[in-house]
Amino acid sequence: MSMYGGVGLQDTISYEGSGVELFHDFALCVMVFILCVVVGMFYSITVGGGSVVSGYSGSNYVEFIWTTLPVVVLLGLSFPSLALMYLSEGPPGGSPDLTFKAVGHQWYWSYEGGDFLDFGVDSYMAPLGDLSEGSFRLLEVDNSLVLPFGAKVRLVTSSTDVIHCWALPSLAMKVDCVPGRLNTLSVSSVSPGSFYGQCSEICGINHSFMPIHVEFVDWGTFLAYVAQ
Ligand SMILES: [Cu+2]
């Protein structure tokens, strides 16, 4: 369990998600460094009487540093950020093992399997009366999305009415479902398990009641599920 699991956040289960977690840590380090420098300078100028900065008035050297350093920092943040953005849309040139479609409706999800022509389920939030002990209130659904773990799954999202957002924190993933548009994202888990998310776009009165439940299972279980 990473430090995020320790504070109650969900651990990531994909390579892309681990990349996002690493990038977050890196950006946080950069921000803490900048904060320390700014606080140090502020302290030096006010309480310290400006002893550190005295003698640098009109210095070309200092102006060069404070112009180029932010550029270097921004470039250092932009490259891993762009790399992650492209990575989250799937491996470059790599063909996915499976394609699934998640369509948002007011207020439920429907899933279609592009490789299994007659596969399609509607996924509604399970009513409170149907919950058993240990299940999650407002997060359980009647039909969850079952996917094989370790497979490269391409998820295509869209919507039939308003903008929804298919979000799964364990995959560090959040993609808008826009009517008349297809957005693509790569969904792959390195471990089996049950993961929960919610619609993350304020989409109407029952916005909070369209949860997402993805189960990552082995290929045998997946094929048996699809064959049903
Ligand atoms: Cu929604």
Look at strands 98-105 and 153-159 and give their pairing: parallel
pLDDT of residue 32 exceeding 90, the answer is: yes
pLDDT of residue 3 exceeding 90, the answer is: no
CA 174 to ligand 1 centroid distance, Å: 12
Backbone angles phi, psi at 223, to 5 degrees: -65, -35
Residues sharing a CB contact under 8 Å with residue 55, sequence separation 6 or more, in sequence order: none
CA 213 to ligand 1 centroid distance, Å: 14
Kindly state the average pLDDT of the residues 22-34. Answer: 94
CA 106 to ligand 1 centroid distance, Å: 6
3-class secondary structure, 147? strand
At 166-202, the pLDDT tens digits run: 999 888 888 999 999 999 888 888 889 999 999 999 9
CA 6 to ligand 1 centroid distance, Å: 29
Above pLDDT 70, what percent of the chain? 94
Kindly state the average pLDDT of the residues 142-156. Answer: 89
At 93-136, the pLDDT tens digits run: 668 888 889 999 998 999 988 776 677 889 999 988 888 888 88
Q: Kindly list the strands in the beta sheet with 145-148, ordered across the sheet, starting from the edge strand earlier in the chain.
A: 145-148, 211-217, 193-199, 164-168, 173-177
How many C-beta neighbours within 10 Å does residue 24 have?
12
Q: Where are the alpha helices (DSSP H) in the chain?
A: 3-6, 15-46, 60-87, 219-227
- List the shell of residues around ion ligand 1, using CB closer than 5 Å: 164, 199, 203
User: Does 98-227 carry CATH code 2.40.10.10?
Assistant: no
Domain spans, the chain:
10-87, 98-227
